Amino acid sequence: MTASIVFFPVGNGDMTLVTLDNDQKILIDLHVRKAADNDDDDTPDVMSDLRERLNRDSAGRLYVDGFLLSHPDKDHISGLESHFHLGPPEDWAKDDDKILIREMWSSPVVFRRSSKSHTLCPDAKAWAKEARRRVALFRENGTIAGEGDRIQIMGEDEDGKTDDILGIVVKTNETITKLNEIGSSAFEGRLLAPLPQGEDEDTEELLAKNRSSVIIRFSIRGGGILDKCRFLSGGDAEVAIWERLWEDLGDHNAHWLDYDILQAPHHCSWHSLSYDSWSQMGEDAEVCEAARNALGQIRKGAIVVASSKTIDADDSDPPCDRAKREYISIVDGKRDRFICVADVWEGEERALEYEITANGITKTVKSAAKAAAASMGIGATASQARAHGRADGYR
C-alpha cells in the first residue's frame, strides 16, 4: 500500500485524509458544506470522494481507523452527524451506511462547559457526546475498548480532570505510535499542542477554541522506509501558540517542528503569524518572529498547503494574501511550493493528493481518462530530480 495525504476542497475549512502504508487511515477534521450534499449544486462532493477511498470491514461497514478533531469549530466538524456513525458500533445500521470511527482523537476542550467564547455547533456537541461515551467505557472497565469504542485524548485537561484516565491520554510533547491499538512503525506523531496552561493565562483565554487546537507533527513511512514525509498539522492555532511553542522548544527540540508539508494553520490566516491586525494596519503589520520561526522549520523542498478558498488580496482574512507571501518566503521564495487547494485544478475543484514513496513525495494528478503521477521531488535525490527534468526538484 502506498502512503498518501489528501487535502479535500472544502473552502475555508479543513478535511484531510492520511493513509499509511499499512492501509490504515486517519481523517483530520471534516467540513462538508450543505451544498456538497445537493446533487444539483456544483460544490465538490467531498463525502463521495472520501467514501471511495475507505475500506469496509467484515461487517460491511465503511470505516476510518482514526478521526482527529483538531478543535470543535464548525468548519472542522460539519457533516459529522449526517455521515458518521455515533454510538455503540453494534448499533450501526446497514440502511444508513454511515462511516464507523474506530478510534477518536480529541482535544479535552470538547469536554468543557460552553461559554460565550466556547460555543459548540450541533456536530461538535455530537462529537463531545460520543467522546464522553467512549471515555466512560474506559473509566468503567479500566481497559482499552474495542474498535468503534476507542478514544485517545490529545493533551491533559486542566485541574487534573484527566488524571484518572491517563491510559488513554497522550501528554503534550509525547509521541503517538499506535493507531486503533496497532503499532506498526508506519507513522509517529509528536503531540505539540494543546499546551498546558501558563501562569499568565486565565481560564477564559484557555477555553478559546483556536488556542486549544491539536498540533501534531507526523513522521510517515513511505515504501517501507521510515520518516519519508514529515507533515505538520495545526488546526486553527494562532500566533500566541506558535510563539510559545518556539520559546518552549528552544534550540534543543526545534527539530520537532520541521516538515516536508505544512498545512497552513487557520486557512492561511495572518493571525497565525502576527498579533497585528491586517485589516487595520495593512503592510505595516509586523510578523511575530518567534511564530514565524516555529512555522518556518522546513526540510529541503518543503511545501505549504492552504486549505482555503482562493486567496484574493482584496478579501478579508482568512485567507490572507500577506500570509501567503510570508509562507512563500519561508519556502525559499518558490511560489510553486505554496499551494492553495482551491486553485490546484484549473476550472474545477478536486482533492489535492500526495503519495509518499521510498523516493519522496509525489503529487498525484487525476484526469477523467486516467491517473498520472508527476513527481514533486520532496525528499528526492538530486539525480532523481534531474531525471524528472528539473534542477531544483520542482516542475
105-148 confidence digits (pLDDT tens): 999 887 765 555 567 899 999 999 999 999 999 999 999 999 99
Is residue 112 within 8 Å of residue 207, measured between CB atoms? yes
Strand order in the sheet with 100-101: 55-56, 62-64, 100-101
pLDDT over threshold 70, residue 383: no
Determine the average pLDDT of the residues in 46-56: 97
Give CA–CA dist 80/67, Å, rounded. Answer: 11
Q: 249: part of which helix (H) or strand (E)?
A: helix 239-253
The three cell numbers of residue 264 are 497552513
Give CA–CA dist 162/168, Å, rounded. Answer: 9
Give CA–CA dist 94/74, Å, rounded. Answer: 27
Contacts of 174 (CB under 8 A, 6+ apart): 190, 191
Determine the average pLDDT of the residues in 21-31: 98
Residue-level pLDDT at 14: 97
Span 272-329, pLDDT tens digits: 999 999 889 989 999 999 999 999 999 999 999 999 999 999 888 899 999 999 999 9
- Domain extents in the chain: 3-387
Determine the average pLDDT of the residues in 37-50: 83
Residue-level pLDDT at 206: 46
Q: 82: part of which helix (H) or strand (E)?
A: helix 80-83
Give CA–CA dist 347/342, Å, rounded. Answer: 10
Peptide bond into 194 cis (omega under 30): yes
pLDDT over threshold 50, residue 387: no
DSSP state, residue 271:
G
pLDDT over threshold 80, residue 10: yes
Determine the average pLDDT of the residues in 92-108: 97
Alpha carbon 284 to its chain centroid, in Å, reads 31
At 307, the amino acid letter reads: S
Residue-level pLDDT at 391: 27
Residue-level pLDDT at 250: 79
CATH number of 3-387: 3.60.15.10
Is residue 337 within 8 Å of residue 302, measured between CB atoms? yes
Residue-level pLDDT at 380: 41
Q: 240: part of which helix (H) or strand (E)?
A: helix 239-253
* CA nearest to 337, candidates 299, 286, 291: 299
Residue-level pLDDT at 368: 34
pLDDT confidence band for 205 (50 / 70 / 90): low
Mean pLDDT of the chain: 87
Span 321-369, pLDDT tens digits: 999 999 999 999 999 999 999 998 877 788 999 999 999 999 886 543 3
Out of 173-182, 323-332, 386-395, pick the least confident: 386-395
Give CA–CA dist 279/276, Å, rounded. Answer: 9
Strand order in the sheet with 215-222: 175-176, 187-193, 215-222, 225-233, 259-263, 298-306, 338-340
pLDDT confidence band for 196 (50 / 70 / 90): confident
Residue-level pLDDT at 116: 59
Residue-level pLDDT at 118: 65
Q: Is 258 exposed, middle or buried (CB count within 10 Å of its CB: 0-12, 13-18, 19+)? A: middle
Helix H, strand E, coil C: the string for 316-341 is: CCCCCHHHHHHHHHHCCCCHHHEEEH
Q: 291: part of which helix (H) or strand (E)?
A: helix 289-295
pLDDT cut 90: percent of the chain above it: 73
Identify which has the larger pLDDT, 377 or 44.
44
Residue-level pLDDT at 117: 59
